[in-house]
Amino acid sequence: MESLLIQVMKLYENARLPEKAHEDDAGFDLFAREGAVIPAGGSRLVPTGIALALPPMTEAQIRPRSGLAFRHQITVLNSPGTIDAGYRGELGVILINHGQQEFVVTEGMKIAQMVVGPVLPARLLETDRLGGTDRGEGGFGSTGR
């Protein structure tokens, strides 16, 4: 399969370009452009120092890193964050600290991962009736334990 080319630009000299740890990884690691302290129970927007030009009909999702979540209870607050193809500003990651101690982000630290995927063209059509299904209106917990 041919790789999708995505233009990426450093907005600051100390910014680090996204990278994959392994060639077949789904996500690119994103790195903090500057240090920050996130208090227990608090959140912080951490800049990456980069901007992207995603191809039309694609998006980038910003997702937590499992190691930070497991070891430090640090996750992405609006997970997954969505970067639309038309956005050209600096990527920032909203980190939240669910832990009991403050968390120190250092410049260059891996803070999140970015997964690029397709966007399906969709339109909404207002209607007064929806087709039926086996599930129907069953919501939270309706499919079992």
Structure tokens at 51: 């901007």
pLDDT in tens, 60-89: 999 999 999 999 999 999 999 999 999 999
CATH superfamily of the domain spanning 16-118: Deoxyuridine triphosphatase (dUTPase) (2.70.40.10)
Which tops the pLDDT comparison, 20 or 138?
Answer: 20
At 145, the pLDDT band (50, 70, 90 cuts) reads: low
Q: How far apart are CA 78 and CA 3, in angstroms?
A: 28
Quick one: pLDDT band at residue 49, thresholds 50, 70, 90? very high
Q: What pLDDT is stored for residue 71 in this prediction?
A: 97
Q: What percent of the chain has pLDDT over 90?
A: 88
pLDDT tens-digit map of 102-113 = 999 999 999 999
Range 133-138 average pLDDT? 82
Q: In the chain, what are the domain boundaries?
A: 16-118
**Global model pTM greater than 0.85:** yes
Tokens at 37, concatenated: 């302290």
pLDDT band at 138 (very low <50, low <70, confident <90, very high): confident
| C-alpha triplet 143, 138, 81: angle, nearest 5° | 80
Check if the beta carbon of residue 11 is closer than 8 Å to that of residue 27: no
Mapping DSSP to helix (H, G, I), strand (E, B) and coil, where does residue 7 land? Answer: strand
Q: Of the candidates 21, 50, 19, which has an alpha carbon nearest to the alpha carbon of residue 33? A: 50
The mean pLDDT value for 18-24 works out to 95
CA atoms within 13 A on the CB side of 134: 1
Q: Cα separation of 91 and 19, whole Å?
A: 15
d(CA 22, CA 51): 22
